[in-house]
Amino acid sequence: MTEHIEQQKSPQKITNMRSYKRQKILWAGIFLAPWIIGFLTLFLVPLYRSLRYSFYELVPTPEGIMSTFVGIQNYLYAFNEHVTATSSFKVELIQTTGDALINIPVLLIFSLFIAVMLNMEFKGRALVRAIFFIPVILNSAAVSSALGGGEAVAQILEEQGIDQIFDLEYYLIQTGMMPWLIAFIVGLIDRIYAILSLAGVPILLFLASIQSVPKHLYEAARIEGATPYENFWLITLPNVSPHIITVTVYALVDTFLTSSVSRIISDELNNPEHWGESAAMGWIYVSTIITILLILAIVAKGLKIGGSHYEN
């Protein structure tokens, strides 16, 4: 009798699942429609032209822009010949990519940890949340320039020989720690401002995700005697994992947008004689981001990160 009832329920369950998936596709299309329309009408043609221009040498004339096909010469110039007063496009691109690959894991761990802390009940919680979001509001060129004044103080301390008092690397060397570990730790300390400036939005995303976790899951776990440690690993983290992809994409794009690579491309674009080279640099820049995103997507797929915790 029970098997007969289950057989009757199965077709209904399958029908409900198909209806649910259709609704998801429909709503996804509705939310994506403005972006798709804007991309097709505003960005598709300029995107194609920039790709085309990256293979040409462009010379502005009174009659218009003269274009001469040069193949991949602009790309070779960007990688092998472009040099600025202090660096080069290739060096800055490699450094920015390395910074992004280091910043993203640190940012994810830090943002999730702070979000869990801010979700707890304590006095002044709203003020503390606002404090962590302040770097997002103040993340402007003027503020960054003002904060950069600290470099002058550091230079004065170095000239006076006082900088050793605050030199973490100096003290770590005295402990006999391995050089690569010292470099990694010092690098993380040097990235504190970058991590804080990027962490505001990820913290809000993680905090919203944590607060959307059904309360009855924690209540059931508490009745079963689960510890806070077990609650985090078995309830909080699985429910927050879909937002890890969103935070990763945000951090990656924001890291590249605020990097010196973007400034180099803009400087080249301001020079009419280097429009072709600027287009090639832009496509190298975009291709690097897409490559990193594809690698992260493969890793997320392998680790099953980003899917809904309730789909199955």
Q: Residue 150, Cβ neighbours under 10 Å: how many?
A: 10
The burial class, CB within 10 Å (0-12 / 13-18 / 19+), for 139 is middle
CA–CA distance, 147 with 193 (Å, rounded to integer): 10
Sign of CA dihedral 295, 301, 303, 308: positive
Integer-rounded Cα radius of gyration of the chain: 26
102 touches 292 (CB < 8 A): no
From first to last of its 312 residues, the chain has per-residue pLDDT tens of 444 444 455 666 666 667 778 888 888 889 989 989 998 998 888 888 888 888 888 777 777 777 788 888 888 888 887 776 667 788 888 888 887 887 788 888 888 888 888 887 777 777 777 776 666 665 544 455 554 444 554 555 455 554 454 566 666 666 666 776 667 666 666 667 667 777 778 888 888 888 888 888 888 888 888 888 888 888 888 888 878 888 888 888 877 877 788 888 887 777 777 788 888 888 888 888 888 888 888 887 777 765 555 454
Q: Which of 249, 228, 225 is closest to 117 using CA atoms?
A: 228
**Residues paired with residue 57 on neighbouring β-strands, in sequence order:** 68
**pTM higher than 0.85 for the full model?**
no
Locate 46 and state its tokens: 């300029």
3-state helix, strand, coil in the chain (%, to 5): 80, 5, 20
Q: In the prediction, which pLDDT does 144 show?
A: 53
What is the residue-wise DSSP string for 146-161? HHTTHHHHHHHHHHHT
Q: In the prediction, which pLDDT does 37 show?
A: 93
Q: In the prediction, which pLDDT does 264 show?
A: 81
Q: In the prediction, which pLDDT does 189 show?
A: 66
Q: In the prediction, which pLDDT does 47 show?
A: 87
Q: Which of 175, 195, 172 is closest to 185 using CA atoms?
A: 172
Contacts of 193 (CB under 8 A, 6+ apart): 147
Task: Tell me the residue type at 110.
Answer: F
Q: Which of 250, 260, 309, 281 is closest to 97 using CA atoms?
A: 260
CA 249 to chain centre: 4
Locate 163 and state its tokens: 């900088």
Domains parsed from the chain with CATH numbers: 85-303 (1.10.3720.10)
Task: Tell me the residue type at 219.
Answer: E
Q: In the prediction, which pLDDT does 153 show?
A: 47
